[in-house]
């Protein structure tokens, strides 16, 4: 990032009220560009998230031969119809783990070489979880310690694998399935815990044969290799991971009522709604439609007392990105909220467990940090002390979570840098302002 840091704080002088819609789902946006780029013919995408992460995927697919354009009402992707071209320069994936891992999957079964680079946050994230199975399929990698910058050479004759995910990760599952597209035979992935299934749904939409079987030990996904993929018309629903911020804001500022419309409600993503329900939050959901294979609806919340609860570890893969903002909700519940099963939070854009604990403690929220979780003692609805400057560690979700925490704080909570919010939620501060929040943005480095 070359621009100077942009400190941000939010405050609420009155209750929040209004109806908003949030930008498109990030996971679905990445996948629509990637599948559109390898399919034959034209894919049109409405509601694409125009955040930096997704734009990094678009730029990478362009370098590998797809023709991608932003029209007045939709994006178009003219696919390569199978064979990706070797990029002439490094693929810069910025802050985006999804771009890095899913693209490695796509490239792994094409006989091309590509170098992947990213920002300081992405360079710190583990890639061994994808290089291991993709190596079994025949790809080779050069990197220092399995991290970016990394050079991948795809297999000239990729081999199908049957792979059991060692961690609950939709990115790893998707990387293997995407590699399976250009691989003869069946590629099989077993997941012990169900993770977001946007890839499976969208692969089917593009014409691939994907068989999913569910057992009490999780799910098995079998992809028939070398399908003919044809361009599709895709409508991207609003991102529930982004909706979670105005939703929690509406829950913690007394008297508020907030509706978010057109949100993706895929059951592999709605753990946050169940978790908020456990805290006794007043959350209403109307499932009223679909965007292709993805269910969509509206979410309405009303502020009210929150009660501490144990958040079961089984929810982790169904809401992994929402834990930072759930911790903010827990800071206002009455009593101790315990969340477990969160080891994966330590390898996101930042170590989200440690960074949330550090920031909450600086704001005067009592807590106990565990190896794989956290116990937060909530204020029972009263304002938390606040009065801290938060280091958001290049992590958009940390930045937005602490901005929301500041809405019910005795003294301002200043987030050091709002720039990373552009990766997933362009227009975040303006959307919050439309609900009645005051935003204080400072373009000058302090």
Ligand X SMILES: C=C(OP(=O)(O)O)C(=O)O
Ligand Y SMILES: O=C(O)C1=C[C@@H](OP(=O)(O)O)[C@@H](O)[C@H](O)C1
424 binds, among ligand Y, ligand X, none (CB under 5 to 8 A by kind): ligand X
H or E element in which residue 388 lies: strand 384-390
In the complex, which residue's CB is closest to ligand X?
97
CB of 174 to ligand Y, least distance (A): 6
For residue 338, give both structure tokens: 């315990």
98 binds ligand Y (CB under 6 A): yes
Distance CA 55, CA 33 (A): 10
Is 419 a known ligand-binding residue? no
Is 96 a known ligand-binding residue? no
DSSP 279: T
174 binds, among ligand Y, ligand X, none (CB under 5 to 8 A by kind): ligand Y
Q: Where are the alpha helices (DSSP H) in 279-426?
A: 323-330, 352-362, 396-405
For residue 223, give both structure tokens: 């992809």
321 binds ligand Y (CB under 6 A): yes
Helix, strand, coil percent content, the chain, rounded in steps of 5: 35, 30, 35
Per-residue exposure over 186-199, b if at least 16 CB sit within 10 Å of its own CB, e if not: ebbbbbebbbbbbb
Residue among 174 and 242 whose Cβ is closer to ligand Y: 174
Contact window for ligand Y (CB under 6 A) among 72-80, 87-95, 164-172, 435-443: 164-172
CB of 149 to ligand X, least distance (A): 16
Is 157 a known ligand-binding residue? no
Residue 200, φ and ψ in degrees, nearest 5: -60, -45
Is 169 a known ligand-binding residue? yes
Residue among 111 and 295 whose Cβ is closer to ligand Y: 295
Tokens 């302002």 belong to residue: 433
- In this structure, the number of other CB atoms found within 10 A of the CB of residue 339 comes to 25
169 binds ligand Y (CB under 6 A): yes
Residue among 222 and 396 whose Cβ is closer to ligand X: 396
Is 235 a known ligand-binding residue? no
Residues within window 19-58 making contact with ligand Y, judged by CB under 6 A: 27
Active site residue 321: yes
Largest CA distance in the chain: 62
174 binds ligand Y (CB under 6 A): yes
Sheet strand arrangement including 67-70? 67-70, 75-78, 42-46, 233-235
Q: Which of 13, 95, 90 is nearest to 54 (CA)?
A: 95
Residue among 155 and 405 whose Cβ is closer to ligand X: 405
CB of 37 to ligand Y, least distance (A): 16
CB of 71 to ligand X, least distance (A): 25
HSE (CB half, 13 Å, CA atoms) of 83?
Answer: 5
Tokens 């009645």 belong to residue: 436
Residue among 15 and 124 whose Cβ is closer to ligand Y: 124
196 binds ligand Y (CB under 6 A): yes
Tokens 């480095």 belong to residue: 445
Distance CA 262, CA 201 (A): 19
Is 27 a known ligand-binding residue? yes
Q: How many residues bind ligand Y (CB under 6 A)?
A: 10
Out of 92, 197, 321, 391, pick the active-site residue. Answer: 321
What separation in angstroms does the CA of 298 have from each of 29, 259, 275? 20, 7, 17
Residue among 44 and 96 whose Cβ is closer to ligand X: 96
Binding residues for phosphoenolpyruvate: 26, 97, 125, 171, 352, 397
Binding residues for 3-phosphoshikimate: 26-27, 31, 169, 171, 321, 348
Q: What residue ranges bind ligand Y (CB under 6 A)?
A: 27, 98, 169-171, 174, 196, 320-321, 344
- Residues with a catalytic annotation lie at 321
């Amino acid at each position: 990032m070359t621009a100077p840091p942009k400190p941000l704080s939010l405050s609420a002088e009155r209750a929040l009220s209004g109806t908003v819609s949030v930008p498109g789902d990030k996971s679905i946006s990445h996948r629509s560009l990637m599948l559109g780029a390898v399919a034959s013919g034209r894919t049109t995408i409405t509601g694409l998230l125009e955040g930096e992460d997704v734009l990094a995927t678009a730029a990478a697919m362009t370098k590998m031969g797809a023709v991608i354009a932003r029209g007045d009402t939709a994006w178009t992707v003219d696919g390569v119809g199978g064979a990706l071209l070797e990029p002439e320069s490094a693929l810069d994936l910025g802050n985006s783990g999804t771009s890095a891992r899913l693209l490695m999957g796509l490239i792994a079964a094409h006989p091309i070489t590509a170098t992947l680079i990213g920002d300081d946050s992405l360079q710190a994230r583990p890639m061994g979880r994808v290089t291991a199975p993709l190596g079994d399929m025949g790809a080779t990698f050069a990197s220092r310690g399995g991290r970016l910058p990394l050079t991948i050479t795809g297999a000239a004759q990729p081999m199908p694998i049957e792979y059991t995910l060692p961690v609950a990760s939709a990115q790893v599952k998707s990387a293997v399935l995407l590699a399976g597209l250009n691989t003869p035979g069946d590629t099989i992935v077993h997941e012990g815990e169900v993770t977001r299934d946007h890839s499976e749904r969208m692969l089917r939409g593009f014409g691939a044969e994907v068989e999913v079987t569910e057992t009490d030990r999780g799910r098995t996904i079998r992809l028939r290799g070398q399908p003919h993929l044809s361009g599709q018309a895709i409508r991207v629903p609003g991102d529930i991971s982004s909706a979670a911020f105005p939703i929690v804001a509406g829950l913690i500022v007394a008297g508020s009522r907030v509706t978010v419309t057109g949100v993706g409600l895929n059951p592999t993503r709605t753990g946050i709604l169940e978790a908020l329900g456990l805290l006794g939050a007043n959350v209403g959901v109307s499932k009223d439609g679909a965007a292709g294979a993805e269910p969509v609806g509206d979410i309405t919340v009303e502020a009210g007392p929150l009660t501490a609860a144990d958040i079961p570890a089984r929810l982790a893969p169904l809401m992994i990105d929402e834990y930072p903002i759930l911790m903010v909700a827990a800071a206002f519940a009455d009593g101790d909220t315990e969340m477990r099963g969160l080891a994966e939070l330590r390898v996101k854009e930042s170590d989200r467990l440690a960074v949330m604990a550090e920031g909450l403690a600086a704001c005067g929220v009592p807590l106990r940090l565990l190896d794989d979780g956290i116990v937060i003692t909530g204020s029972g609805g009263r304002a938390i002390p606040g009065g801290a400057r938060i280091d958001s560690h290049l992590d958009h979700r940390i930045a937005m979570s602490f901005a929301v925490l500041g809405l019910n704080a005795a003294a301002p909570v200043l987030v050091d840098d709002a720039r990373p919010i552009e990766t997933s939620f362009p227009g975040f501060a303006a959307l919050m302002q439309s609900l009645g929040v005051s935003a204080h943005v400072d373009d000058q480095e302090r």
